[in-house]
Amino acid sequence: MIYLISGLLIFAMGLFYLIHPAKSPTRVYSYSSELATATRSGFYLAQRWCRNAFLFVGAIELLLGFIVTYFHLTYFEGAWTLTVYLAIAVIFLHTEVKLRHYLMRIGQLPAAYQK
């Protein structure tokens, strides 16, 4: 059940960002981090990458939710909850890694991220 609920919420967030993409960095509505706000092009790419990750992870979690429910595997609830948290972390990790590579490629990586 946890996969169905979280998958539906994550997929709905991805659909929301697909229909109404953020136009400028805000703390409430857009994906904004130090890397995402380093350049204007990086901000728009971060919105796209995060949206796509939300849609993909949400769809995978919905599919897993249907499988878990169909085969009555709900007695592993603790493991399912842990993997939901990891999937959410993967969304943001994926976006930040892609942003870092993009900003390195165009030479705009903030000094705090350079080694």
CA dihedral 92, 26, 59, 81 (to 10 degrees): 60
**pLDDT over 70 percentage in the chain:** 100
Which backbone phi and psi does 27 adopt, to 5 degrees? -75, -25
**pLDDT of 28:** 86
Whether 39 and 6 have beta carbons less than 8 Å apart is answered as: no
Predicted model pTM: 0.91
Q: Which residues contact 111 (CB under 8 A, 6 or more apart)?
A: none
**pLDDT of 76:** 83
**pLDDT of 1:** 82
Split at pLDDT 50, 70, 90, the class of 2 is: confident
Whether 30 and 47 have beta carbons less than 8 Å apart is answered as: yes
Q: Which residues contact 47 (CB under 8 A, 6 or more apart)?
A: 17, 21, 22, 30, 31, 36
**pLDDT of 82:** 93
Based on the number of CB atoms within 10 Å of its own CB, is 45 exposed (0-12), middle (13-18) or buried (19 or more)? middle
pLDDT tens per residue across span 27-63: 888 999 999 999 999 999 999 999 999 999 999 999 9
Residue 104's closest CA among 48, 56, 35, 58?
35
Please report, for the chain, the start and end positions of each structural domain, with discontinuous segments joined by +: 2-113
Report whether pLDDT(115) > 80: no
